Amino acid sequence: MKRLFSAKPHRGFIALVLASAVAISGFSAAPARADNDVAKFIAGAALLGIIGAAIHEHKDDKREKRRQTVQHPHKTYTPKPVPSRVSRYDLPVKCQRHFHGKSSVISRGCLTRHHTHVQSLPHRCGLSYWNGKRYRQGFGTHCLRKHGYRLVHR
């Protein structure tokens, strides 16, 4: 249901008082006759209703125009690629393996598939670990962090 009054209630109240004052002043200006008074009252009430509805529709049209948002063309942002001298220190976090709450390990096989600078990793961080089935090759996470490497989500 649409609201009859605007967001500022004092304007609606003033309009109501003004409309009723105009209606009452029309009755007091003419001499009272019983046969025409009822017809004039109904005609005046209908006229006020029509004027009020027109004002309300006009306000609704203005509100709708204000609500319509302007469509701006979406500009895509393409970040510049990170230089290889920087990206070689970013290791994919999906290659990190955790074993029973101990320190984590970066899998060498995963790094070979997802990282291009595996040969430049410090050899002293290399280690062997048991994955539950066999020994695998990898790198210690803490050691790599000491040498400036970091894990990133890509």
* pLDDT tens-digit readout, 110-127: 999 988 788 889 999 999
- The mean pLDDT of 39-44, rounded to a whole number, is 78
Q: At what angle do helices 34-67 and 9-29 cross, to 10 degrees?
A: 160
Q: Which candidate, 140, 154, 141, places its Cα nearest to that of 94?
A: 154
Alpha carbon of 113 to those of 24, 94, 117, 153: distances in Å?
Answer: 89, 11, 11, 15
3-state helix, strand, coil in the chain (%, to 5): 55, 15, 35
Indicate the residue type of 137: Q
Long-range contacts, 119-125 (Cβ 8 Å, 24+): 120/88, 121/149, 122/147
- CA–CA gap between residue 131 and residue 59 (Å, rounded): 72
Task: Assess contact for 45 and 23: CB atoms under 8 A.
Answer: yes
44: pLDDT strictly greater than 60 = yes
Q: Which range scores top for mean pLDDT: 8-17, 70-79, 141-150? A: 141-150
- Give the per-residue pLDDT at 115: 81
- The mean pLDDT of 74-102, rounded to a whole number, is 81
Task: Tell me the per-residue pLDDT of 61-87, one tens digit each, with 9 for 90 and over.
Answer: 666 666 666 677 778 888 787 777 777
pTM above threshold 0.85: no
21: left (phi over 0), alpha (psi -120 to 50) or beta: alpha
- The torsion defined by the Cα of 43, 44, 50 and 53, in degrees rounded to 10, comes to -140
Q: What are phi and psi of 136, to 5 degrees?
A: -125, 160
- Give the per-residue pLDDT at 39: 74
